[in-house]
Amino acid sequence: MKLVAGLGNPGREYEGTPHNVGFQVVDLLIEHLGISGFQSKFRSKICRASISGESCLFIKPQTYMNKSGEAVAEFVNFYKIPIEKIVIISDDIDLPPGKVRFRDEGGHGGHNGLRSIIESLGSGDFHRIRFGVGRPEDNGSVVGHVLGRWSEAEIKLTREAFNLAPKHIPTIYALASAEFQQQNIGETLNLLKKLLVLDSKHYWAWELLADSYREQGNISEALITYNKAAELSEDKSAIFMKIARLELQELNRIQSAMKTLKRAIQADKQNADAYYYLGYAQKDLGRWKDASASLRMYLKLKPKSGFALEVKQDIADLENRDVESERPF
């Protein structure tokens, strides 16, 4: 059995970043092989295939980059995979964009994912494929570069990959994310609409589409699209928060925003920010007792918030107002 592991970080905020090249390459490989769908096992997303009669596991560790070795080691130990049958795919800042390096062994080269794997396996004698993402310009932050916005060169490379695989959904989404980060909203919209024709239930695409409409100033379309994203999303509370902010900040629909914030809390009772916004919306409508209760829940969930002192003062003021409103004239 062979193991092919593409390295990256889980979560939408890391989608399409240079550090997640390993995830994208695994997606391209399984697309090319005609495999559909990932399963979850050993803190990883996993697909199985048979290549030249030999079983092969394709995995994307969900442990975050600096703990990739923990996930890889679980597969290696469970399936007794020899180290010479392991292939690790990662980004490489020492290679310019567009370059690929193959090595049969070696050190980690400062890459935290490779470092973790070497430590967990006790050896660096596995195959590795490194895709160049280049170094930041003007000696900027490496972390900011690999986890931040795409450069024009990286967008170009992703576009080239897109041209090679025009119906590859993860690549389209990665390119749309990159265009959005560069504030190319028109191109972002075009790509996302193309993606949603291929996969109408891609909730991250619906959310990014709504974000794009919001940036464009098309608030009514953003609200419609956020609601579509909320229908499909696994994190409904976060989407409801975006809707509520639009209702409060752009439309001044306080009553509607309060209903949306209550939906956010219903979806995630630990959503402290929902209680925060709800409390101040209730305050604006003169609902002192309700506002005080909501803000107290915020402090319970976020006792060390940077706004804690201000919120405590507001609660005291609200409770004084409530007492005064009950006094007979």
Nearest C-alpha neighbor of 284 from the set 271, 294, 272: 294
Domain range summary for the chain, segments of one domain joined by +? 2-147, 149-217, 235-326
Q: Which of 179, 183, 1 is nearest to 82 (CA)?
A: 1
Give pLDDT tens digits for 24-66: 888 877 776 677 778 888 899 998 876 545 688 899 999 888 8
CB contact at 8 A, 271 and 241: yes
pLDDT digits (tens, 9 = 90+) for 268-306: 999 999 999 999 999 999 999 999 999 999 999 999 989
Whole-model pTM: value is 0.55
Percent over 90 (pLDDT), the chain: 44
The span from the CA of 266 to the CA of 261, in Å, is 9
Q: CA–CA distance from 126 to each of 2, 87, 96 (Å)?
A: 11, 6, 23
Which CATH architecture does the domain made up of 235-326 adopt?
Alpha Horseshoe (1.25)
127 carries an active-site annotation:
no
Domain 149-217 in CATH 3.90.1150.10: no
Q: Tell me, yes or no, if the two domains 2-147 and 235-326 fold the same way.
A: no
Read off the amino acid at residue 147. L
Q: Which of 19, 111, 145, 168 is catalytic?
A: 19
Query: Would you say domain 2-147 falls under CATH 3.90.230.10?
Result: no
The residues of the chain scoring below 70 in pLDDT are 32-33, 50-54, 97-100, 135-168, 170-171, 174-175, 178, 322-329
